[in-house]
A and B are shown apart, each in its own frame.
Chain A
Amino acid sequence: DIQMTQSPASLSASLGETVTIECRASEDIYSNLAWYQQKPGNSPQLLIYDANSLADGVPSRFSGSGSGTQYSLKINSLQSEDVASYFCQQYNNYPPTFGAGTKLELK
């Protein structure tokens, strides 16, 4: 199985700040990567697919980038509603595998 290593595990940032979350795959996943946001008590919601495509209805302050084994999610101008956990997921190979998550809190 492809291992997804996500960092940092937790992150504290101020409103308006820019935040970056990283995800590294154990082998090349050819941009077959998605990012999800999960708020407490809710199910995950798709933010980004194909490494850099914004899902429908997702604010443009979210963006994804990367290739090969290294990917990142950037949140510009952090808002209070962005407090959540974020997960990456590769879908290049079966089984799909997820990163362990990044918990984002407000400073």
Chain B
Amino acid sequence: EVLLQQSGAELVRPGSSVKISCKASGYTFTDYYMHWVKQRPEQGLVWIGRINPANGNTVYAEKFKSKATLTADKSSNTAYMQLSSLTSEDTATYFCTLGAGRYFDYWGQGVMVTVSS
């Protein structure tokens, strides 16, 4: 069974950074891209980017190129997303997700990041 277990909720200060994790199990970690998606409260879904865990290659949505950094650790089957220079606009739930196709079969439970002083 494919499982994506994400780290816990974060409360962070404006201007700081946060790194959230997504531990994968139930499949070969390097076989599928890991994607990240943002969802602000009561709003829609926005694709942030994806990483190829096999070689670390990344693709980002234009608006997240300076905001998000995706990495992956093959030794622990864990993907990470670091968000920098946080503002209230970054308050959201962040999901890791993957699929065999370019749609998303499996989702983590989400990490709520709250940016507040």
By a beta-carbon cutoff of 8 Å, the part of chain A in contact with chain B is 32, 34, 36, 42-46, 49-50, 55, 87, 89, 91, 94-101
Q: Which residues of B contact A95 (CB under 8 A)?
A: 47, 61-62
By a beta-carbon cutoff of 8 Å, the part of chain B in contact with chain A is 35, 43-47, 59, 61-62, 95, 97, 99, 101-105, 107-110
Q: Which residues of B contact A96 (CB under 8 A)?
A: 35, 47, 102
For the residues of A in contact with B, the DSSP-based class is: loop
Q: Which residues of B contact A43 (CB under 8 A)?
A: 95, 97, 107-110
Q: How many contacting A-B pairs (Cβ < 8 A)? A: 51
CB distance from B8 to the nearest CB of A (A): 15
B104 touches A46 (CB 8 A): yes
Closest to B107 in A: A43
B46 touches A98 (CB 8 A): yes
